[in-house]
């Protein structure tokens, strides 16, 4: 099937196990998915009590069966309608041959039939006296919808009530999907039924601000206890309701947790929060930034494939990509991202699967031209991955500039207090994995899931689903719930902290710039920086708080300087509340030759700073006494 047709069908198309159905109906569907406001859908789900499900199947592994079971569990009375199965029972309910044979009038008719058959069913629903006609994901019939609306019925097309209910009443965050719902009211399986009749499902505002999202996204009160701060779900596994429930979880046909290597409710809150801040579709959290990079590339790279990466990456990433990934037969070609022509040249080639850069690179104050890199990636049909660790979504949102995937070491500014390792992968949900044959893991049948095709079945949630269901399941670098909790806490104050980090860093950079013992300062926020203009475009709120400077006196002066610091801590980390200092030549880069050090931006005179949140006069006083 042409990808373009599938794309619009799958725009919200994350109904588990619907692949066949979508394939059957897609050719008759129009080219754009109808759009409905959250409030419209919520009002329907709240008003409805009885549903006739036309096309309900007695076969337990059919999507309609799961939808019916789900809706029953939410307190809806569901009457199955299916001439072929009439007289049989599905989930304790007698199957009726047609709508006119139902024992009573129902509020809503839910259509699990092909688009061309939906017209006749809609006319029967009007005659029957239903108030709502709901057509399932992939089912669109504009003429029928117009007839029903003319008679005063409300109509929803190309949606699944199960998905919408989960999304709007708070159950979808189990895999870190961005539900875009913000609510200070409890929402849960047990009480969702009551909640939909109260005002609890009201979203605060359609476009919440950054600070609101940092605090609230993903983090409604605990469904069971009402605890307002996100609890640490310190559990390895989760009970199944029954064997059927277990089967549908394992088949990825229903929402829920199985085992904490794959998903955990505390981590899911963090995933949704980061996804929301980056304007992504979903996120996968991992044990560290490095494991995020590994998992980000797993669905993309196969043995023999090539990754194009910037020469000015974080040092650990250069080693990971250049040395260890070779063991998977993943090749990495390092290119100078300041020279876009050479990026363009390198990106051509059938084995090239992705471009990887950093929005703001550690340590040299290097800023990437994300818009330009995105154009190059798009022109050859491969995704652009951006490590946004140093900038954080407060300073830069790479997806707005065309990045397809964003990765983070949450160890740094996101957790922010130097106390929790972690990583995150955010998917924009916009890359078309089926546009060429380059991405078999996502766009061809997956053996480990009975031939499931992730992209066909999960659409824009495919990459994130793969991250959990294959990446975390099979490689295992899962974030601990305690670390997820600490990172959630950190992100709540991200905006305040980043403002202060930047303000302090600017003062310190200017102080050093004018100091007679300092030969140069490499901070993208300074006008003399080569990256000042890119920083003005991509980092409008400031160029971060990590930068380097050159100390007069070379290696020996560098060693002496870090030893003299009293307030600044001499260690290998960044993004802490505390100010940190490092002399790379005598520590992280000491194994390299001097020439290698210089090309890595770690020459003998280089000092790296990560400016913290202390009183800025105290930071400067410490630097001053150490320089003296």
Ligand X SMILES: *Cc1c(COP(=O)(O)O)cnc(C)c1O
Single out the residue of 58, 208, 316, 322 in contact with ligand X (rule: CB under 6 A): 316
Q: For 461, phi and psi rounded to 5 degrees?
A: -105, 5
Residue 483 beta carbon to ligand X: minimum distance, rounded to whole angstroms = 11
Question: Which run of H or E residues covers position 413?
Answer: none
- C-alpha closest to that of 576 among 612, 606, 536: 612
Single out the residue of 362, 478, 529, 579 in contact with ligand X (rule: CB under 6 A): 362
- Cα dihedral 511, 514, 520, 523, rounded to 10, equals 40
Residue 596 beta carbon to ligand X: minimum distance, rounded to whole angstroms = 20
Residue pair 133/111 in contact (Cβ under 8 Å)? The answer is yes
- In this complex, which beta carbon is closest to ligand X, that of residue 65 or of residue 314? 314
DSSP state of 439: -
Single out the residue of 26, 141, 195, 317 in contact with ligand X (rule: CB under 6 A): 317
Residues 607, 550: Cα–Cα separation, whole Å: 6
Residues 251, 440: Cα–Cα separation, whole Å: 20
Q: Which span sits near ligand X by CB under 6 A: 313-321, 430-438, 510-518, 591-599?
A: 313-321
- How buried is 206 (Cβ within 10 angstroms: 0-12 exposed, 13-18 middle, 19+ buried)? exposed
576 touching ligand X, by CB under 6 A: no
Residue 460 beta carbon to ligand X: minimum distance, rounded to whole angstroms = 26
- In this complex, which beta carbon is closest to ligand X, that of residue 56 or of residue 285? 285
Residue 278 beta carbon to ligand X: minimum distance, rounded to whole angstroms = 15
- In this complex, which beta carbon is closest to ligand X, that of residue 71 or of residue 424? 424
- In this complex, which beta carbon is closest to ligand X, that of residue 180 or of residue 290? 290
Q: Which span sits near ligand X by CB under 6 A: 94-102, 174-182, 285-293, 472-480?
A: 285-293
Residue pair 412/574 in contact (Cβ under 8 Å)? The answer is yes
- In this complex, which beta carbon is closest to ligand X, that of residue 269 or of residue 391? 391
Q: Is 117 helix (H, G, I), strand (E, B) or coil?
A: helix
DSSP codes joined into one string, 362-394: TTTTEE--HHHHHHHHHHTT--EEEE-TTTHHH
- CA 450, distance to chain mean position in Å, is 25
Query: What are the Cα distances from residue 393, in Å, to 406, 494, 600?
Result: 10, 9, 26
Q: Which span sits near ligand X by CB under 6 A: 32-40, 309-317, 478-486, 548-556?
A: 309-317
Which residues between 386 and 445 bind ligand X (CB under 6 A)? 387, 389-390, 409, 411-412, 421, 423
- In this complex, which beta carbon is closest to ligand X, that of residue 52 or of residue 407? 407
Residue 462 beta carbon to ligand X: minimum distance, rounded to whole angstroms = 25
508 touching ligand X, by CB under 6 A: no
Residues 63, 72: Cα–Cα separation, whole Å: 14
Q: How far apart are the first and last CA of the chain?
A: 70
| Contact partners, residue 615, CB within 8 Å, separation at least 6 | none
Residue 313 beta carbon to ligand X: minimum distance, rounded to whole angstroms = 7
Which residue matches tokens 């070779």? 326
DSSP state of 410: T
Residues 387, 409: Cα–Cα separation, whole Å: 8
553 touching ligand X, by CB under 6 A: no
- In this complex, which beta carbon is closest to ligand X, that of residue 314 or of residue 394? 314
Position of minimal CB gap to ligand X: 289
Q: What share of the chain is helix, strand, coil (3-state, %, to 5)?
A: 40, 15, 45
- In this complex, which beta carbon is closest to ligand X, that of residue 220 or of residue 362? 362
- In this complex, which beta carbon is closest to ligand X, that of residue 33 or of residue 291? 291
Residue pair 565/581 in contact (Cβ under 8 Å)? The answer is yes
Q: Which span sits near ligand X by CB under 6 A: 126-134, 312-320, 377-385, 480-488?
A: 312-320
Residue pair 478/279 in contact (Cβ under 8 Å)? The answer is no
- In this complex, which beta carbon is closest to ligand X, that of residue 364 or of residue 423? 423
- In this complex, which beta carbon is closest to ligand X, that of residue 368 or of residue 529? 368
Q: Which span sits near ligand X by CB under 6 A: 190-198, 254-262, 382-390, 559-567?
A: 382-390
158 touching ligand X, by CB under 6 A: no
Q: What is the 3-state secondary structure (H, E, C) of 564-608?
A: HCCCCEECCCCCCCCCEEECHHHCCCCCCCHHHHHHCCCCCCEEE
Q: Is 159 helix (H, G, I), strand (E, B) or coil?
A: coil
Residue pair 96/86 in contact (Cβ under 8 Å)? The answer is yes
Say if residue 363 is preceded by a cis peptide, omega within 30 of 0: yes
E-assigned strand segments in 83-209: 89-90, 93-94, 108-111, 132-135, 154-156
Residue 17 beta carbon to ligand X: minimum distance, rounded to whole angstroms = 35
Residue 260 beta carbon to ligand X: minimum distance, rounded to whole angstroms = 20
- In this complex, which beta carbon is closest to ligand X, that of residue 36 or of residue 356? 356
Residue 288 beta carbon to ligand X: minimum distance, rounded to whole angstroms = 3
Q: How many residues bind ligand X (CB under 6 A)?
A: 17
Residue 363 beta carbon to ligand X: minimum distance, rounded to whole angstroms = 9
Q: Which span sits near ligand X by CB under 6 A: 12-20, 148-156, 310-318, 375-383?
A: 310-318
457 touching ligand X, by CB under 6 A: no
The two three-digit tokens of residue 575, written as one number: 């993004």
Residue 284 beta carbon to ligand X: minimum distance, rounded to whole angstroms = 14
605 touching ligand X, by CB under 6 A: no
358 touching ligand X, by CB under 6 A: yes
Residue 574 beta carbon to ligand X: minimum distance, rounded to whole angstroms = 6
Single out the residue of 79, 134, 177, 314 in contact with ligand X (rule: CB under 6 A): 314
Single out the residue of 162, 290, 589, 608 in contact with ligand X (rule: CB under 6 A): 290
Binding interface with ligand X (CB under 6 A): 288-290, 314, 316-317, 358, 362, 387, 389-390, 409, 411-412, 421, 423, 574
């Amino acid at each position: 099937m042409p990808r373009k047709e599938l794309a619009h069908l799958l725009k919200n198309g994350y109904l588990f196990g619907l692949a066949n159905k979508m394939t059957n109906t897609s050719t008759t569907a129009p080219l754009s998915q109808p759009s409905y406001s959250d409030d419209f859908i919520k009002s329907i789900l709240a008003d409805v009590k009885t549903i006739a499900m036309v096309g309900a199947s007695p076969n337990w592994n059919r999507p309609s069966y799961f939808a019916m079971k789900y809706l029953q569990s939410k307190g809806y009375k569901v009457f199955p309608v299916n001439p072929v199965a009439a007289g049989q029972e599905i989930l304790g309910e007698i199957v009726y041959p047609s709508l006119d044979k139902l024992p009573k009038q129902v509020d809503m008719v839910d259509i699990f039939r092909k688009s061309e058959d939906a017209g006749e069913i809609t006319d029967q629903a009007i005659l029957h006296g239903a108030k709502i006609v709901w057509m399932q994901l992939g089912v669109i019939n504009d003429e029928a919808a117009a007839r029903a609306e003319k008679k005063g019925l409300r109509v929803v097309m190309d949606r699944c009530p199960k998905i919408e209910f989960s999304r709007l009443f708070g159950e979808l965050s189990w895999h870190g999907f961005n539900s875009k719902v913000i609510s200070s009211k409890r929402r849960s399986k047990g009480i969702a039924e009551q909640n939909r009749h109260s005002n609890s499902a009201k979203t605060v505002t359609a476009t919440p601000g950054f600070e609101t999202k940092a605090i609230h996204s993903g983090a409604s009160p605990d469904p069971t206890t009402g605890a307002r701060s996100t609890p640490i779900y310190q559990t390895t596994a989760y009970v199944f309701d029954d064997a059927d429930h277990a089967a549908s979880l394992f088949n990825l046909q229903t929402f829920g947790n199985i085992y904490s290597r794959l998903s955990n409710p505390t981590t899911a809150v963090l995933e949704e929060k980061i996804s929301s801040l980056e304007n992504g579709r979903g996120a996968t959290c991992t044990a560290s930034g490095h494991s995020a990079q590994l998992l980000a590339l797993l669905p993309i790279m196969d043995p023999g494939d090539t990754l194009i990466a910037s020469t000015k990456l974080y040092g650990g990433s250069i080693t990971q990509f250049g040395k260890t990934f070779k063991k998977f037969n993943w090749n990495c070609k390092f290119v100078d991202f300041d020279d876009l022509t050479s990026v363009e040249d390198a990106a051509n080639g059938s084995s090239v699967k992705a471009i990887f850069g950093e929005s703001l690179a550690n340590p040299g104050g290097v800023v990437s031209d994300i818009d330009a890199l995105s154009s190059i990636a798009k022109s050859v049909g491969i995704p652009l991955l951006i490590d946004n660790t140093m900038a954080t979504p407060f300073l830069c949102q790479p997806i707005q500039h065309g990045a397809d995937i964003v990765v983070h070491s949450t160890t740094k500014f996101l957790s922010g207090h130097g106390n929790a390792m972690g990583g995150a992968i955010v998917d924009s949900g916009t890359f078309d994995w089926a546009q060429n044959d380059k991405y078999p893991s996502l766009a061809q049948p997956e053996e480990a899931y009975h031939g499931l095709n992730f992209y066909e079945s999960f659409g824009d949630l495919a990459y994130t689903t793969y991250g959990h269901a294959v990446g975390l399941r099979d490689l295992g670098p899962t974030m601990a719930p305690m670390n997820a909790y600490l990172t959630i806490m950190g992100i709540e104050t991200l905006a305040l902290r980043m403002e202060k980090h930047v303000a302090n860093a600017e003062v310190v950079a200017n102080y050093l710039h004018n100091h007679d013992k300092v030969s140069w300062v490499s901070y993208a926020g300074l006008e003399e920086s080569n990256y000042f203009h890119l920083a003005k475009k991509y980092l409008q709120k400031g160029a971060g708080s990590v930068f380097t400077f050159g100390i007069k006196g070379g290696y020996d002066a560098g060693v002496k300087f870090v030893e003299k610091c009293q307030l600044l801590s001499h260690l290998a980390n960044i993004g802490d509340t505390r100010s940190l200092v490092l002399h790379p030549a005598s520590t992280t880069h000491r194994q390299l030759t001097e020439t290698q050090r210089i090309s890595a931006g770690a020459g003998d005179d280089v000092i790296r700073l990560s400016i913290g949140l202390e009183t800025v006069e105290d930071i400067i006083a410490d630097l001053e006494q150490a320089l003296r």
